[in-house]
Amino acid sequence: MKKIISFLLIMIMILSLTACGDKDSSSDSSAKDSSSVDSAESSSASSESSSKESSAKESSSADRNRANPTADSVVTKRASAYDLETISTKDFVEAMALGWNLGNTLDANGGDGTDPIKQETSWGCPEITQELIQAVAGYGFTTIRIPVTWFKFTDPETYKIDEKMLARVKQVVDWAIEADLFVIINIHHDNYDKSNNTGWINVTDEGYEKTSAQLKAMWEQIGNYFADYDYRLIFEGMNEPRNIGSGSEWTGTKGQWENVNKLGLDFVSTIRGLGGKNAKRFLMVPCYAATSNSSAWAKYQFPENDDRVIMSIHAYTPYNFALNTNGTDQWTSQSEKDKSEIDKLFSDIKSVLIDNGHYAVIGEFGAMSKNANIAAREDWAGYYVKKAKEVNIPVVWWDNNSFSDGETFGIIRRNMNNSLLFTGIVEAMINSWYGTDFKFGS
């Protein structure tokens, strides 16, 4: 036993001396050429770290794509890739491409006007998250429209907007800018509704003067609040301005068309008067009710010497298929009759607007889900976007997060990890715009 213990002690001493010798040898080598050794070690460590980071990113990307496949292979050019300082309006609207509306959220008008989150969730949509905005970009959309209803957060006498509401809108805009989307913000469900005494945009002759004063006061605040944002941020003056509750609510009268024109000029002159980036920011203006009636576009008065003003059009076309709940649930691109209204829409946009030096954005479009008519909607979406692409006019899908009742335009399930429900509809739009055969997950 004593011999064994002695043997073990000797071995421990030998190993200890060997280890010390290795340290000394390393130290001597380091002293002779410390820079070379440090550089080699640093390079090795950096390479190993980069390899680990790369592997982690690849793994993370693979996991993300399995959960929510992206269209990044098709959409390779995002908003910041353009020279927006010098870009023409023609090229700008083409760059906006395919868009998505954050509907029934910041534009909801429930709540008590004290908490923006209570308002944005008052119509049943969940609180907006950055993950939702990232998902929108990942699904191939290059533009997001963020409708905002302001009246519950605006003093009716001074027209001062509550800072809390401005801050919440800013947070969502910042997420969209970070996702490198073109971003539209507007004044949305603020139309005056006599039946419940809400809203303030009154397009009648007796309502114009007060409406004009408030519109200018509010856009001066919004414009100044976002003054330093680059040209990816677009302002839209109003949403579907109309005389709610009247017999001619959606068609308007000659005087109401003229009042909406004047309000549009008020909006543009207010933003331009702020200077800075607002002097050249792209602006969207609707005619009466943002109608798809080309007669209203033809009579719209655009500001002189300002080519960065774009017509905002809403076109759920054809109405009986896309929007009318009592209409048909079938549509096919094999029918000339079915296609005729879409053909006319984009033919009119070219002849009335583009050929006269003006451009448009289809700020809202979509076709409701009816009787599980997915195939018809996919066919319709592909054809609609194909015609839009022929004249390079961007289209922005109206998504109100509704899937089972009411106006069922939902495609992204915000309550289910922002998953995409109708992949075929989005694929049809992507492929029509980019001329591809893209499929999610392939």
Helix crossing, 2-32 with 34-67: angle to 10°? 100
Q: Which of 390, 413, 393, 388 is nearest to 401 (CA)?
A: 413
CA distance 96 to 265: 24
Residues 6+ positions from 233 with CB-CB distance below 8 Å: 173, 177, 183, 185, 226, 281
Annotated active-site residue in 236, 364, 378, 427: 364
Whether residue 48 lies in the annotated active site: no
Residues 6+ positions from 36 with CB-CB distance below 8 Å: none
Q: Specify burial of residue 153 (Cβ count, 10 A radius: 0-12, 13-18, 19+).
A: buried
Residues 6+ positions from 303 with CB-CB distance below 8 Å: 265, 268, 269, 309
Q: Which of 181, 182, 146 is nearest to 166 (CA)?
A: 146
Task: Provide the H-helix boundaries in 68-202.
Answer: 89-96, 116-120, 130-138, 163-178
Instruction: Identify the H or E element spanning 257.
Output: helix 254-273
CA distance 440 to 139: 9
Whether residue 236 lies in the annotated active site: no
At residue 385, the 3 state secondary structure works out as helix
Annotated active-site residue in 236, 240, 378, 427: 240
Read off the tokens for 95. Answer: 């760059």
Instruction: Identify the H or E element spanning 420.
Output: strand 419-420
The C-alpha torsion from 125 through 127 and 101 to 77, rounded to 10°, is: -140
At residue 251, the 3 state secondary structure works out as coil
Residues 6+ positions from 405 with CB-CB distance below 8 Å: none
CA distance 259 to 272: 20
First to last CA, the chain: 71
Cα distances from 116 to residues 121, 152, 154, 159, 172, in angstroms, run 9, 9, 12, 17, 12
Active site residues: 240, 364
